[in-house]
Structure 1
Amino acid sequence: MLAPLRISLIFFSLLPGLSSFAQYFSDIQEYNQLLLMNPSYTGTTFGTRIHANVFGQRSAFTSTYTNTISADFYLEDEQIGLGVYGGVRNNADKNTFSLWGQGAYSKILKIKSNQYFIPSISAGFEQPLKNISLFVYDIIVRRSTEPHQPPGYSMQQPLRTTLKTGFLLATYDWNIGLSAGANWDITQSIFPEGDMIFRAIIHAEKFITYYHRGLLSKKYYLKPRFIIDYSTERMQVYSDLNIQRFNWLGSIGILHNLENNRTRIALSAGYDFESFKLNYHASSQFPADGNFEVIHSFSLRLTIPELNKKYQPIYPLVRDL
């Protein structure tokens, strides 16, 4: 695909979407948007990919939720992947929302006939802001107690920097990877004490084609995954199974926080329209402990493959069920 069209797709995809360290449901959203989990997935479709994740509903029991969008493409001659992604994360507990954005670079190295090693790096920013209601609070209340401060004073938060690196060992049937990153106040030193948030994710997945023999033979595509997510704020594990039958998509996953011993169940259903995939995601804490709630979100994935010399689509290294 022509480079100007790629750049245009990425530019316009970022216009509507303005998480680095969210909790629970936003983590599940991130695990399903591969570039957010590990920048080494950048360019692994061997084409152009746009992925948007929109939060569908605000629950009274949900402290953190996010809207994200990502775009990446592959440069065949240089064998590199380039990507940009960003979003807005809302934290009701702290009465804040954060705008963030990052750029990613990956180098796709072929080490065997069908095996690749992909190092990567990404960098960006996160700007936490107070909710707009505090702007009104400043005008009405704080003007009498702090007259020298301008309206919106309580909304000001320091700009934070995010730096992440990733590694991916991949074939067309499986991949295993590691990503590690840090997030800190840009006004502080490069290694501030007590302020830096560190996070590391180890993940693995396997693609399986399953044939069910009978009067009517059935073909299924399966993708089991396992993820370990550790940061200075928490440690949790996530596992899910993605299934595709014809154009129908589905998955079931379990997220367990090892610190507070809470578990969240995640379900999704979707349809593959060939050029793009539309998914509905739902999640709920289990057991409910008297506060049963279901959280919803929707995701849209658009993939435009590169064409070979015979004008046939190039098969992706990592399939996104």
Structure 2
Amino acid sequence: MISGYGMHGHGRKAVKLFHQMKALTKPDHVAFLSVLSACSHSGLIAEAWDCFNSMGRDFQVTPRPEHYACMVDLLGRSGRLNEAFEFIERMPVRPDAGVWGALLGACRIHSNIELAKIAANNLFELDAENPGRYVLMSNIYASSGKQKDADKIRDLMKQRGVRKVAGHTSIEIRNKVYTFVAGDKSHAQSDLIYSELEKVINRIRQEGYKPDLNFVLHDVEEEMKEKMLYVHSEKLAIVFGLLNSGPGSVIRINKNLRVCGDCHRAIKFISKVTGREIVMRDAHRFHHFNDGACSCGDYW
């Protein structure tokens, strides 16, 4: 329950339930991981420190690398990157890929190239087969205007034979699952989907949506960047859902990777202009979009 609350953006409910649990039984390392993860998903820094510090002090539970990773993720996403790095340096155990991955992800959000380099160099040794690490570092360079450095990371991927995982989004309509990739035109309703997508994009632009071009390749023209963002798999699946589900029904989609920042912002607008609740399960958590807002509070 604690973990479930955390994944759905109910961090304070997770912490409250954890305190109820402590009154009944001694929490183990799994319980602590669940509540720290919930705090990380909701940006509850003070609550997380309270739980983390109580592990050894009150319950004789030794923190494991995954507990440290939660704290690094929490501090990093909150913008406290230097504090997160100092925390890593003080760890009594060797930081693993989860710890450095949390720092790298935070560096992507806050555009900190120097700490990203340190995290990436460690990940390229500890987690050399994981394509996400290379892609993330390449994107950090690209979004900072360092295209040559971004290209070097892509070349390193090729040299090591590491291939990027293709993103896809699935949706279930009347007990049948439909899967979309970016720019997908393989579906029987493709013409209708793209026609409706154009209408939806025009509506959300009128409401204030502006595409975030940081989430697309940096070696193409501006107009092409926008077009590439519009056909991300999340948007295609949602439009398909709008066309094929009953009025007022909840649209539920599943993304195999972390939802991109532009799609996250666009879906908030889509939920507002269509009056539909949209629930997305990505690689990290659930996002509940309703009337222009997301349950994650833009903290994910």
Q: For this structure pair, what is the TM-score category when the shorter chain's length is used for normalisation?
A: under 0.3
More strand by share: 1
Superposition TM-score, scaled by structure 2 size:
0.27
Kindly indicate which of the two structures has a greater share of residues assigned to helix. Answer: 2
